């Protein structure tokens, strides 16, 4: 994309208006209202006519941008008074800004709550009588009973894959590997930790079942275990001891045991939250500690007072390191701020977003101002953040002056 730079403007020589008429006879003045008159543009000084044509082309590009992407134009500061034709008038731009070299960071902040993350419900997977249930606040780790049905434990194991099928010799998959990792962590041996449920795996399961005091079948049924990412804290208990459970009956809800921050984002801001990305958590005392985005999910929040339900992005940020945990431990259930970093570009050239012009040829450009003249330079844009935009273009360096609108 090559935009033809505007020719340097030359002011007309006053003496030209006193020159003698053409010897061939009186010269007819062009009709400025007649666009078909070939002499209509001849009265403009050299360079200024071309500059005016350039202004019209840039203005046409702005109109096209507004017509095809009004929202984008408004977001870039190019709508309304940002008509590039104004920035390329007969005089130099009314203001300029310098191209800067810097690290550009796109950040957003939102209110959040410090706690232990969202609660997860545990429901019965088989029929039976609830014979033991923990109290609210109880902490339960790997290999311990989350609750009991018919005097047999429903055991907590660690993992991200829920128990959804019976596991027995011949089964293969991530849930098999997850079970074997737990058996190994609990001290059982004699099998290979992989994704295949072998006879050796079944033998280890029988040893485990013997220690639990349940039937030694060598199979693991979905109703015998609950998988969670780690140790849990019981938040609330729904069912009562002695209740007759049916599959799907809610028993209790739990959270993780480590401190976590829960934030909600609009669906349009989903890009801000990527699992595994870093985030800053600003505590009530003003200190900021580091966190890692542990979970991102989309959920529907019921409306209140007759309002419509709202779809939101729920983000869980786990605090990173013992120091961050200690700093936040005094503010359990307190309001905090989370700072998300959506993008970072190091050592790049940037200009104010308002300096961008929509080019008739397509894309964007800037009006470079130097030595009392201006020229248009097409640019490639990158990250937008904090009112500035990353740009690259021929001849642009830190300190180059570019035109700004009024």
Interval 63-71 mean pLDDT: 33
The predicted pLDDT at position 106 comes to 85
What integer pLDDT is reported at residue 11 of this predicted model?
Answer: 40
| pLDDT over 70, % of the chain | 78
CATH 2.40.420.20 assigned to 44-106+345-404 = yes
Residues making up the chain, counted from first to last: 406
For the chain, the structural domain boundaries read 44-106+345-404, 107-116+260-342, 120-256
Alpha carbon of 209 to those of 203, 216, 217, 250: distances in Å? 10, 5, 8, 25
Write out pLDDT tens, residues 316-343.
999 988 889 899 988 988 999 999 988 8
| DSSP state letters, 86-126 | GGGSSS--SEEEE-EEEEEEEEEEEEEEEEB---EEEE-SS
| Mean pLDDT, rounded, of the chain | 81
**Helix residue spans in 25-170 (DSSP H):** 48-68, 70-75
**pLDDT by residue (tens digit) across 25-41?**
444 444 444 444 444 44
Quick one: fold of 107-116+260-342? Elongation Factor Tu (Ef-tu); domain 3 (2.40.30)
State the average pLDDT over residues 194-222. 97
Distance CA(141)–CA(290), nearest Å, equals: 26
- Which region among 158-167, 199-208, 223-232, 317-326 has the lowest average model confidence (pLDDT)? 317-326
Fold (CATH) for 120-256 = Muramoyl-pentapeptide Carboxypeptidase; domain 1 (1.10.101)
pTM given for the model: 0.59
């Amino acid at each position: 994309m090559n935009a033809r730079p505007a020719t340097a403007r030359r002011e007309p020589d006053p003496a030209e208006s006193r020159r003698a008429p053409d010897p061939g006879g009186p010269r007819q003045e062009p009709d400025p209202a007649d666009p078909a008159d070939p002499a209509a543009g001849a009265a403009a000084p050299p360079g200024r006519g071309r500059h005016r044509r350039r202004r019209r082309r840039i203005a046409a590009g702005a109109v096209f941008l507004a017509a095809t992407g009004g929202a984008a134009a408004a977001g870039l500061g190019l709508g309304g008074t940002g008509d590039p034709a104004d920035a390329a008038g007969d005089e130099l731009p009314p203001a300029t800004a310098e191209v800067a070299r810097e690290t550009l960071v796109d950040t957003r902040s939102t209110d959040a709550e410090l706690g232990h993350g969202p609660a997860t419900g545990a429901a019965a997977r088989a029929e039976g009588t609830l014979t033991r249930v923990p109290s609210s606040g109880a902490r339960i780790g790997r290999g311990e009973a989350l609750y009991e049905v018919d005097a047999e434990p429903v055991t907590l194991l660690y993992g991200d894959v829920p128990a959804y099928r019976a596991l027995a010799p011949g089964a293969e998959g991530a849930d098999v590997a997850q079970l074997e990792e737990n058996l190994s962590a609990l001290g059982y041996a004699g099998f290979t930790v992989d994704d295949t449920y072998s006879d050796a795996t079944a033998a280890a399961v029988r040893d485990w079942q013997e220690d639990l005091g349940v039937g030694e079948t060598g199979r693991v049924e979905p109703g015998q275990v609950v998988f969670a990412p780690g140790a849990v804290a019981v938040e609330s208990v729904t069912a009562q001891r002695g209740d007759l459970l049916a599959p799907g009956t809610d028993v209790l809800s739990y959270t993780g045991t480590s401190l976590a921050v829960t934030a909600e984002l609009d669906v349009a801001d989903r890009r801000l939250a990527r699992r595994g990305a870093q985030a800053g958590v600003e505590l009530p005392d003003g200190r900021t500690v580091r966190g890692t985005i542990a979970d991102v999910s989309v959920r529907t929040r019921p409306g209140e007072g007759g309002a419509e339900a709202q779809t939101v992005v729920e983000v869980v940020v786990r605090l990173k390191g013992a120091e961050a945990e200690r700093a936040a431990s005094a503010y359990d259930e307190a309001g905090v701020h989370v700072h998300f970093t959506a993008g970072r570009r190091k050592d790049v050239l940037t200009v104010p977003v308002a300096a961008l012009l929509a080019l008739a040829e397509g894309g964007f450009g800037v009006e470079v101002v130097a030595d009392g003249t201006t020229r248009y330079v097409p640019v490639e844009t990158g990250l937008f953040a904090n009112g500035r935009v990353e740009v690259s273009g021929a001849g642009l360096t830190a300190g180059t002056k570019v035109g700004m609108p009024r």
